[in-house]
Every structure is written in C-alpha cells, then in structure tokens.
Copies of this chain bind each other. A is one copy, B any other.
Amino acid sequence: MAFSERVSRLKSSLIREILAAAQRPEVMSFAGGLPAEAMLPKVEWAAMPLSMGQYGMSEGEPALREALAAQARALGVACEASQVLVVSGSQQTLDLAAKLHIDVGTEVMLEAPTYLAALQIFQLFGADCITVPLEADGPDLQQLRARLEQHRPAFIYLIPTFQNPSAVRYSEAKRDAVAALLDEFDVTLIEDEPYRELTFDGGSATPIVSRLKKASWIYTGTVSKTLLPGLRVGYLIASPDLFPHLLRLKQSADLHTNRIGQWQAQQWIGTEQYRSHLSELRDFYRDRRDRFQAALQTHFADIADWNVPQGGLFFWLTLRQPLDTRTLLAAALAADVAFMPGEPFFPEPDQHPGHLRLNFSHIDPARLDEGLKRLAGVVREALAAKAA
C-alpha cells in the first residue's frame, strides 16, 4: 500500500473529534459553526422541474450565476456571470484554489488566526504558511508590507468580514490599504465571505476585491450561513485570468455542483423573500449575541478579554493568563461542554496559546448560562492547577 507524500500532512482533525463528541445530546456545544435550527427557512420543492435531475454544466446553473453576479455587482465587485462558478460549498473553493496555486513549498499568506479548514487544506497541498497578525480593524499593515517585501506568496487568503475565528471586520481604511499593497506587489487575493450578511450593526464595507486595480482575485461566498448548509451550494467569482483553470479543476473534482441545491438557492438569491429572511436572521443572531455577551460578562470578565462581535457566529476570547486551551478539552467534555481551542487556528499552534472560539448561534439559550459557567469553571481549575 503506497500513500502519497501529501497524506503525511493529513492531520487528525481536532474539529471532527470535538464535533463528534459534541453530538451527545447532553453536551452544551460552543464548538461548531452551525446555524440555529429554528432559523432554517422552510423551503418548497414542488415547483422544481424534473430536468434538474439530469447532468448539468460544470459552471453551474445559468440563472443562478446571473443572480450571484448581480448580487456581487451590488457590492461593488465588477463582474459578469461568466466569472461565476457554483461550487459544492465554499470549502470547495479552497480545494480548487489549493490545486491551482500550491506545490510543496509554495508560500501562501494568511491572517493569524485564520480559518482552520483553510489552513488544513493549504498545508495538505504542502504550502508554507506565512502569517500576518490581525488587529481589531484588520491586519497589521506594517507587518503586511514587511512580509510582502520578504516573500513572494502565490496568494493571500483573507476573511475580512466577521472573520472566523476572530470576528474581526476590516475597516474601510485597511481594506483600501490592503488592496493597494496587493496591487503593488501583484499578489492574488482569495477573499472568503461566508458571514457578510450576518451583520448586527448594519455595517459591512465593500469587498477588498472590488478595490483591486491590477491583482488577480477569487471572491467566494455560500448560502450555508444564510439559507441551508445541507444544500452544499457555494460560489466563487474569479478574475478572468484564473476562471478557466478553476472551471477545469471543478470539472475534474466532481463534474458539477448538485442541481437541486442550486435550484433551491436560485429561488432565494436576489428576492424580497430572501431579504426579509436575512433581516429576521440578523435580528435573531443579534439577540443571541447580546445574551451571550451578558453571560460571558458574568462568567469570564475576570479571566478573559474579548471584543463584542458585530457580525458572524463567534466570540474570540483571549485568556489573561495564557495556557494551552487544547489541554482543557477533556475536562470540558467531561463537564458536558464543548468549545474550540484557539491554537489550531494558527500555523504554529504552540506559539499562540490562550484563545477560545465560542459559537453563539447554535446553543439553546436555556442552557447558555449553565454552559458558560461550567466552561469558566474548567478554565479556572486549570489556571489554579498551573499556579499551584
């Protein structure tokens, strides 16, 4: 039995293990990034034509591509439907981008922290991950310039709007500055925006790709956070120099995205019904965010710091006395609480101890307080044991 060299980099996924443990109904889970069941919209299937059962185009359904292009243009992204590729969830964009750009040893640039599953797939393909530290309003620009002067990354991967895990939203000024730097150094931008619509204060600056003048780009989104993740419908929009390659890679990966999910997404994108659903969703999650903030204040105010997220699905806590939060997992699960340790969101986990990612969208509000109380108890015990 002969495996590829790649497989030696295929790590056991901590997320998988935590989510599996969190399946037990008694577990209060802050670990995943699941939409609240109550906010999954009721969808109708009766009108779907039988022809959606036939093979489809690798590019995706023409009407859906048009609707997605129109939606992106409304955000300031100059694009045509011909630049839109429907993918099997925006996770697939990362797979296609990795195939397009990464050989063993290829440098890529990421935020620190960054989306865990992006880090995993870029590393799987052998990328050398260079990071830029995130501040509350976006990346540290001096460090970004310094890195770009030292390195020649194949691309930079950014989640500028309610980042997973940090909830950071880039300011207008930093968006402009990042775009100017990427143009200056001619670095391809992959901009991942699953959380754009989940804004609680109404604000969300236009995408960075819309500010580029020269650099190549891939913009990617999904209906998973706003409609139904089970459809597995995401999309990418790419600059014309990248699109044909991504299309062929999509074809070789799975021929095309499932058409039934595409048809359903098409019933929503750009409609009044969708706008109304998004508005309800924002109200619902804003309320959950507020309750979570209140419970955090009660249980974590003396041991951790955090910013109140203005969108997305997560709080990102920083312990005042850092410890490796991975070591808290066993005790947390024993107390029927699940959370995501922060270390795996960095390419060098051991150098970044002391963060916790807590999802606020999925927990039953009736169990929120008890869950955070127990989690804080686990942290306190570990801190006490460390001090002893």
Q: Which of A180-197 contact B (CB under 8 A)?
A: 186, 188
- The segment out of A40-48, A67-75, A273-281 that lies at the interface is A40-48
Bound together, the chains give a CA A124 to CA B46 distance in angstroms of 41
The reply on A333 being an interface residue by CB < 8 A is: no
Bound together, the chains give a CA A200 to CA B117 distance in angstroms of 46
**Chain B residue with Cβ nearest A215:** B1
Bound together, the chains give a CA A10 to CA B106 distance in angstroms of 18
Known: A46-B46, A53-B40, A260-B260. A89 touches B4 (CB 8 A): no
Interface residues of A (CB under 8 A from B): 1-7, 10, 12-13, 16, 32, 34-35, 37, 40, 42-43, 45-46, 48, 50-56, 58, 87-89, 91-92, 95, 99-103, 106, 117, 120-121, 124-125, 152, 154-155, 186, 188, 216, 224, 227-233, 241-242, 245, 248-249, 251-261, 264
- B1 with A54: CB separation less than 8 A: no
Task: Please give the distance in Å from A338's CB to the nearest CB on chain B.
Answer: 15
Known: A254-B91, A258-B232, A258-B258. A241 touches B1 (CB 8 A): yes
Known: A100-B7, A103-B6. A260 touches B245 (CB 8 A): no
Residues of B within 8 Å of A12, CB to CB, are: 248
- A45 with B42: CB separation less than 8 A: no
Bound together, the chains give a CA A228 to CA B111 distance in angstroms of 41
Known: A216-B1, A254-B95, A261-B258. A248 touches B58 (CB 8 A): no
- B43 with A53: CB separation less than 8 A: yes
- Sampled A-B contacts (27; CB under 8 Å): A2-B154, A4-B103, A7-B100, A10-B245, A10-B248, A10-B249, A12-B248, A13-B248, A32-B55, A40-B51, A45-B46, A46-B46, A53-B228, A53-B231, A54-B229, A55-B230, A89-B254, A91-B255, A117-B255, A124-B252, A230-B259, A231-B260, A232-B257, A254-B254, A258-B258, A258-B261, A261-B261
- B52 with A230: CB separation less than 8 A: yes
**Chain B residue with Cβ nearest A122:** B252
Bound together, the chains give a CA A228 to CA B49 distance in angstroms of 13
**Chain B residue with Cβ nearest A37:** B54
Known: A50-B40, A124-B252, A232-B254. A101 touches B3 (CB 8 A): yes
- A229 with B55: CB separation less than 8 A: yes
- B50 with A4: CB separation less than 8 A: no
Known: A35-B54, A53-B40. A1 touches B255 (CB 8 A): no
Bound together, the chains give a CA A259 to CA B233 distance in angstroms of 11
Bound together, the chains give a CA A152 to CA B56 distance in angstroms of 38
Bound together, the chains give a CA A32 to CA B57 distance in angstroms of 12
Bound together, the chains give a CA A48 to CA B45 distance in angstroms of 10
